[in-house]
Structures are given as C-alpha cells and as structure tokens.
Amino acid sequence: MDADVHGDRGLGPCVVVDPYSSGALFAEALRGRGVPVVAVLSSPRPPEAYAASYRPQDFPDAIVYDGGHDDVVRRVRALDPRCVIAGCESGVELAERLAPRVLPELSNVPELAGARRDKGHMAAAVRAAGLPVIPQICTADVEEAAAWLEREDLIGADLVIKPPKSASTDGVIKVPGGTDWRAVFERQIGRTNQFGEVDDRLVVQKFVTGTEYVADTFSHDGKHSLVDVCSYGKVDNGPHMAVYDTMRWLPPDEPVVATLAEYVFDVLDAVGVRFGSAHVEVMGTADGPVLIELGARPHGGGQPRFNRNATGDSQIDRTVRWLTGGELPQSYEMVTHQMCVFHMARRSGTVHGTPVLDAIRALPSHHFSVQNLSDGDHVPVTKDLVDSLNFGFVILAHPDGEQVERDYRVIRALERKLVIEEP
C-alpha cells in the first residue's frame, strides 16, 4: 500500500463538534497520543438518539453553541486548534461553518457545505459532476413531486420517501408501486426527526435494487483513502423496508471494492470533501454504483472499534495518526472475517424468553454483543436502524468465514424462540 507521511500538526487541541456516537471515541484515542481534545456542542443537550453515547467527563471545557457563530468562532480560534471535525451527523453543519473560519486550510469546500448534509443538495452536486445518481426530487410541494413523477415516468413505480436531513434510516419509507405516496408525503412533511429538526422538505426517489455498500474514508489535502468497505444485508420486515439484517466487512481485493472506491472518491470530490472522515453509502446496481447518501463524519454506532478488530485500523486511528505525523495507508487490510448481526423484532409487543439470547456469548465467533431487552419489556417491531440498535446487535469475528455464517444462523434461530405477546 502507498503511504503518506507528514509532520506533526502543532500543539493545539483537536476540536470535535458533537462528540457523540463514534465521535465519542476521539477523546481516548487522541489523549493516548498526547493530543488534547475540546468539544463544541451544537445544542445544550445531545439529541436523544445520541444521549447514551456522550461522555461529558471527557470534555470538561465544552463550548456550547447558542446560535451565535461569531462567539464560537472566537473561542475556538483562541484555542489554536489542530483541526475542527464533526463527531457525528448532528455536528456536521456546525463543523462545516466553523472550520473555514478557523482553519481554512483544513476545511472542506465551503460553497458545497449544503451538499455534505442535505440529501437534495447532495444528489444535485453529484449529478452536476456527471456521476450517476438515483432519480429523485427534494421538495416541500406535493404537486411539484407529482409533476416530477409524471415527467420521469415513475407513476406506479416503487418509491422511497425520506427526509433530507436525518440518519439511521429515520423516517425512510418505501412506497410499493407508489400506492398512496401522496398520503405518505403529507403525513411526513413537517415531522420532527430524531435530531429535533423539522422535515420541511422531503426527498422522493425511485426505489432501486442491488447490493448496498458502505465505504468509510479519510481525506486530507483533497486526497482520499479507503478505511473499510462493508456490504449491508437488508430485509423487509413486514411493511417496513430495508431493515438491517447484517453488515459484512469485505476484503480489499474483492473485485467490487476497486469499482466502489473510484466512484466514492469522485463523489467526495463532487461534494467538496477535502479533510476528515466520510461515510458513503452506495447501491451497487446492474448499471454500476449510485449514491444513496453520505455523511461528512465517521461511521456511527461505535463502528470504528469493530473496524479496528477486522482491519487493525479505523477512521479514528487515521485521524490521530494524521495529527501526529504518522503513516497513512491508501487502503486497508483484513485480519479476520467479521459480520455485524442486527437483532430484529418481527412484531410489537411484550417480550418473554430473553434468556435464550444468553447463548450468543458462547458462540465460537462471538466478539461483542449487546442486548437491551429483558422479560416484560415492550419491544417495537423493527422498522429502522434506531430500532435495531435499541434492541441490540452482535459482532461475529473468526478466522473461518464459514464459522461466522453458522453462528449467524444460530442467532436468528435463537431470536425465533422469543415470545412477543401483542397487546
């Protein structure tokens, strides 16, 4: 692998905007290499979806944004920081505003900031760069959406309706055959999403099929590198589309990885990513890769910890090495077969028999697991990634890939033994 080496990046802190989810991992990793870290919080309290991941003890001198950009810029500049980065999705917009004013040489392209958060602007920027994207429109007007569907000959086609600013499949709805898409649109417009933001516009797009991939990257000076590539397995859970089933780490020599890397790097250029981590979701269709969406921040859910187990590296580690003058590879290596299995509830109700899941920890490939249910708890039918993570997940890792597959099947068999009594 090619490598890049540079000098140390000064003595100031790394500023992390909203160090929640995987962003919470920066503190220990940075301080372990002698790099101070300071948090900027985009609101006085973290969004509910991220509250459990926040470690305020790691950030005693946090700067809280209260709507005044000039004050936050002044306070951050006074720190003489090494970088300003987003810890998770809720911090992307503020990080994108701060970085150009504090460290313009370590910022993304300011004029394209909207394309790194808003899915409507994102698709437009990628399309403008001549790259294939999923046919879609982003609008607040149901009649504008109807006219677009007519022009694109999508009347009667499977559709997806989703908010332009959210994450974790929050508010993503499949509309088979386009049936009652207007009712879905009108029900979702004006909804408050998991970040406390109002969905004042919606993306309406053609539903495309294929294999969904995620490529995690780290960039500096406009040069991009792969940290990992995973494939998602998704299933329909009753009426709920594309519920997460598995995430599998792919070896870098798998043929699809090179194709994905070329497309993903072009997407990063199109939306103006020049520095930091990005999380890029792509659908591999019969006609080639098309962008689903990207996040200008690390892969969430604590994934960097598990990626380190699979590859010996992570977006957190690459950030730290870049800040401390270390060697940066352009790709990654696989050190073990690894899969994430997302728990799934097939219906809503009161759950019993949860001790059967204890057997998961004895599986030969068990690496890590969390189950958040006890007998007597109410479990909602799994409809999105938030539900999956609230229920729990399992990381399976083993030198023998077949062992991982066998243990996956055991987990699903154990889930079927749960008793969920409908109200």
Task: Give the integer Cα–Cα distance in Å for 97 and 306.
Answer: 30
- Give phi and psi for 179, each to the nearest 5: -65, 125
Q: What is the DSSP letter of 170?
A: T
Q: Which two tokens stand for residue 82?
A: 């090494």
Contact of 90 with 195, CB cutoff 8 Å: yes
| Whole-number Å distance between alpha carbons of 334 and 50 | 29
Q: What are phi and psi of 276, to 5 degrees?
A: 105, -170
Distance, CA of 62 to CA of 68 (rounded, Å): 15
pLDDT value of residue 168 = 62
Q: Which amino acid is at 181?
A: W
Q: Do domains 3-118+210-329 and 337-421 have the same CATH topology?
A: no
Secondary structure of 265-325 in HEC code, one letter for each residue: HHHHHHCCCCCEEEEEEEEEECCEEEEEEEECCCCCCCHHHHHHHHHCCCHHHHHHHHHCC
What is the pLDDT, as a whole number, of residue 10?
63
As its CATH architecture, domain 3-118+210-329 has 2-Layer Sandwich (3.30)
Please name the residue that has the structure tokens 């109807």. 146
Please spell the DSSP secondary structure of 367-380, one letter per residue: EEEEE---TT-EEP
Give the model's pLDDT for residue 1. 42
Buried b (16+ CB within 10 A) or exposed e, 66-95: eeeeeebbebbeebebbbbbbbbbbbbbbb
Q: Give the DSSP per-residue string, 179-243.
A: TTHHHHHHHHTT-B-TTS-B--SEEEEE---SEEEEEEEEEETTEEEEEEEEEEEEEEETTEEEE
Q: Rounded to whole angstroms, how far apart are CA atoms 298 and 304?
A: 8
Domain ranges for the chain, please list them: 3-118+210-329, 135-206, 337-421
Kindly report the CATH class assigned to 337-421: alpha beta
pLDDT digits (tens, 9 = 90+) for 111-136: 999 999 999 999 999 999 999 999 99
- For residue 218, the cross-strand partners are 225, 277
Output phi, psi for 266, to 5 deg: -65, -40
Give the closest residue to 417 by CA, choosing from 345, 363, 356, 370. Answer: 356
How big is the chain by its Cα radius of gyration, in Å?
21
180 Cβ contact list (under 8 Å, min separation 6): none
**Res 192: pLDDT:** 82
The residues, ordered by sequence, that sit 6+ positions from 1 with a Cβ below 8 Å of its Cβ are 329, 330, 331, 333
CATH class of 135-206: alpha beta
Instruction: Report the C-alpha gap between 280 and 374 in whole angstroms.
Output: 35
pLDDT in tens, 139-178: 999 999 999 999 999 999 999 998 988 766 677 888 888 8
Are 252 and 332 contacting, i.e. CB atoms less than 8 angstroms apart?
A: yes
Per-residue pLDDT of the chain (423 residues; tens, 9 = 90+): 444 544 456 679 999 999 999 999 999 999 999 999 999 999 999 988 888 899 999 999 999 998 889 999 999 999 999 999 999 999 999 999 999 999 999 999 999 999 999 999 999 999 999 999 999 999 999 999 999 999 999 999 999 998 988 766 677 888 888 888 999 898 888 888 766 778 888 999 999 989 999 999 999 999 999 999 999 998 876 666 668 899 999 999 999 999 999 999 999 999 999 999 999 999 999 999 999 999 999 999 899 999 999 999 999 999 999 999 988 999 999 999 999 999 988 888 999 999 999 999 999 999 999 999 899 999 888 777 777 778 889 999 999 999 999 999 999 999 999 998 987
333 three-state secondary structure: coil
Tell me the angle at which helices 119-128 and 255-270 cross, rounded to the nearest 10 degrees. Answer: 100
Amino acid at the residue 4: D
The pair of structure tokens assigned to 279 is 């999380």
Cβ count near 283 (within 10 Å): 17
Contact 404, 397 (CB under 8 A): yes
CA–CA dist 89, 296 (Å, integer): 8
